[in-house]
Amino acid sequence: MILHHRLALTPVINAAGTFTPLGVSRSSPTVRAAAAQALGEFLVIEELQQRAGAAIAGWTGAQAGAVAHCVAGAITMAVAAAIAGEDVDAIATLPDAGGRLHRVLLPAGHAVDYGHPITQDIRLAGGVPVPAGDEDGCSVAELEQALASGGIACLLLVSSRLTRGPAIDLAAAVAAAHRHGVPAFIDGAAQDMRLPDLLATGADLVLASGHKYLASPTIGLVAGKGAWVRAFRAQERGIGRAMKPAKEAIVGLLAAIEERRELDLRQWTDLQAHKTAEFVERCARLPGIAARAQPDPSGMPFSRAHLRIDPQAAGIDAAGLVAALADGTPSIRVMTHRLADEELVLELVPLEPAEIEAIIARLEALLAGSPAGC
Q: How does pLDDT run along the chain (374 residues), one tens digit per residue?
A: 788 889 999 999 999 999 999 999 999 999 999 999 999 999 999 999 999 999 999 999 999 999 999 999 999 999 999 999 999 999 999 999 999 999 999 999 999 998 899 999 999 999 999 999 998 899 999 999 999 999 999 999 998 888 888 999 999 999 999 999 999 999 999 999 999 999 999 999 999 999 999 999 999 999 999 999 999 999 999 999 999 999 999 999 999 999 999 999 999 999 999 999 999 999 999 999 999 999 999 999 999 999 999 999 999 999 999 999 999 999 999 999 999 999 999 999 999 999 999 999 999 999 965 543 33
pTM: 0.93
Mark whether 297 and 345 lie in a shared domain: yes
Can you list the positions of beta strands (E) in 190-318? 205-209, 220-224, 289-295, 303-309
The total number of structural domains that make up the chain: 2
Q: Are residues 198 and 296 in the same domain?
A: no
Residue 37 lies in domain: 29-262
Specify the CATH number for the domain of residue 315: 3.90.1150.180
Tell me: do 218 and 97 sit in the same domain: yes
Final residue of a structural domain among 239, 262, 285: 262
Q: Are 108 and 234 contained in the same domain?
A: yes
User: Residue 366 and residue 374: Cα distance in Å, rounded?
Assistant: 10
48 and 154 in a single domain? The answer is: yes
